[in-house]
Amino acid sequence: MYYEGPIYRPPSEADSLLIQATVGCPHNKCAFCMVYKKGPPYRVRPVADIKKDLDEARARYGSGIRTIFFPAGNTIAMPTDDLSAICTHAHTRFPYLERITVYGSSPYIHRKGLADLIALREAGLTRIHVGLESGDDIVLQRIKKGTDAREQIEAGQWVMKAGIELSEYIVIGIGGKERTHEHAEDTAKALNAINPDFIRIRTFLPKINTLLLHQIQKGRFQVLTPHEALRETREIIARLKVTSRITSDHYTNYADIHGKMPGKRDRMLSAIDDALQRDEGMFRPVYVGTQ
């Protein structure tokens, strides 16, 4: 099977078969991301090659595969007919398949529109992982996300209406100290408007070769302390009016926050309050430098 460039997958896809459908990321400008910066340029692999990899996986692993993830960074940007074709082929090769998942950012989802999303669901696409990051337009502009809250909300609503599961990722602290309240408030508003199946929490951690690390080193961006990040997380959860399942399944986070809203809200808020009682020196350090 063929793999080129960085291959990342969500923690929830740890047991999934990885079949590369695209290379790189078509946007590749986010100020906080270094994953694809020095990798090969974005391109879509030929459908015939992807099908060949699926055939090889069937020969190697048998018919029992239940979940497939199609990397790389923004596979939803594939032409709809191409993505539909590989989803359909995957189902023919793996009769017990329960889930096919891709990464997809809001602008590329929005370009597809509702009709294409329905076509993808009918072809077998079952879940999209989306980096919402923030619902604050100023933050989105500063981190060069290439979208705004309106487009992100509409794209998310279309995914849900199409019947595709939606995982929205938010980044605690991505607005820095200056925009922490606005980021929390507007992110909660966006999530409330979308009501995705999953809300996945990440906490901003500076990465090498990124614009945000450069801004931190120049004193233009102030990273939240652990307690400030926890308070921002608390504000978001307290404002949510969703039925989503919240997870914090990532090493960057300062507390294990998880549960189905709204029933587990109080338990999650209590977990945050407990974490806030800990001395900040007990948390992982905020890495700024060469990492």
Residues 184-221 have pLDDT tens digits of 999 999 999 999 999 999 999 998 889 999 999 999 99
- pLDDT score for 212: 92
All structural domains of the chain, each given as residue ranges with its CATH number in brackets, are 11-275 (3.20.20.70)
d(CA 248, CA 257): 5
- pLDDT score for 291: 39
Around 180, how many Cα atoms within 13 Å sit in the side-chain half-sphere?
22
Entry pTM: 0.94
- pLDDT score for 39: 84
Q: Is the pLDDT of residue 115 over 50?
A: yes
- pLDDT score for 290: 41
Lowest-pLDDT range of 26-30, 64-68, 163-167? 26-30
Where residue 287 falls among pLDDT bands split at 50, 70, 90?
low
Q: Tell me: the pLDDT tens digits for 241-285?
A: 999 999 998 889 999 999 999 999 999 999 999 999 999 888 987
> What single letter denotes the amino acid at residue 154?
E
- CB of 198 closer than 8 Å to CB of 244: yes
Residue-averaged pLDDT of the chain: 95
In Å, what is the CA distance from 281 to each residue of 222, 227, 291?
18, 10, 20
- pLDDT score for 79: 97
